[in-house]
């Protein structure tokens, strides 16, 4: 049921999706669908909560292998999120619902804030490790990384897999722009 609802929400957004369209996609009556979910809002919340829970688990600090540089972990997490946004209808629907449905965005705001904090912590650690410049706040850089992740997930499929060589190079360019300049002989940064 949630897959059918996800397809409708991802395609049409919260406002334009109807319980009838979801029921038709599932192959049941609207009345039967109401037996499982009291409203369209309940379906939307189930999708969003499920996805936010999965994202939170993916971003949990314990998933970072000991000794792995923060910038590498940040890259892996943003790739994983971009891949999920590209390939998983439920994730695409959740992203759209968070933007479209005030109830959904309000209900998951604490979880989204926790995800943002986790990524910001990785940026901060990357700054402390010297891999990422401290010229910008971790919060600002986190928004930049999330925007990049969203863009990668929305790139035309003609580019192939979301983790293509081109996008790997783009990530390296982005990190290169954000790396802390290293002093060379004579005191000038490289």
CATH number where 68 lies: 1.10.357.10
pLDDT tens-digit series, residues 10-24: 899 999 999 999 999
pTM value is 0.72
* Domain region containing 141: 40-178
CA distances from 60 to 18, 102, 127, 145 (A): 35, 26, 20, 18
Residue 30 lies in a domain: no
What is the DSSP secondary structure assignment for residue 183, as one 8-state letter? B
Strands (E), 17-159: none
Q: How many domains does the chain fold into?
A: 1
- Cβ neighbors of 112 (< 8 A, separation 6 or more) are 52, 98
Structural tokens at position 91: 């994730």
Specify if 15 maps to a domain.
no
DSSP string, 125-163: HHHHTTSS-SSS-HHHHHHHHHHHHHHHHHS-GGG-STT
pLDDT (average), residues 39-67: 82
Q: Is 90 among the domain residues?
A: yes
Kindly indicate the confidence band of residue 102, based on its pLDDT and cuts at 50, 70 and 90.
confident
Residue 4 within a domain: no
């Amino acid at each position: 049921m949630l897959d059918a609802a996800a397809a409708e929400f991802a395609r049409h957004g919260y406002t334009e999706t109807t319980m009838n369209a979801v029921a038709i996609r599932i192959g049941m009556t609207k009345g039967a669908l109401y037996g499982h979910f009291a409203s369209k809002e309940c379906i939307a919340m189930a999708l969003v909560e499920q996805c936010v829970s999965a994202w939170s688990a993916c971003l949990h600090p314990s998933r970072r292998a000991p000794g792995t540089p923060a910038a590498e972990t940040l890259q892996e997490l943003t790739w994983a999120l971009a891949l999920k946004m590209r390939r998983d209808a439920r994730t695409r629907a959740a992203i759209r619902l968070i933007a479209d449905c005030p109830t959904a965005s309000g209900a998951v705001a604490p979880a989204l804030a926790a995800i943002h904090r986790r990524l910001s912590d990785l940026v901060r650690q990357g700054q402390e490790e010297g891999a990422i410049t401290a010229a910008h706040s971790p919060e600002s850089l986190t928004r930049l990384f999330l925007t990049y992740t969203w863009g990668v997930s929305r790139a035309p499929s003609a580019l192939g897999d979301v983790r293509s060589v081109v996008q790997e190079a783009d990530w390296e360019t982005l990190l290169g722009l954000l790396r802390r300049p290293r002093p060379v002989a004579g005191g000038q940064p490289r």
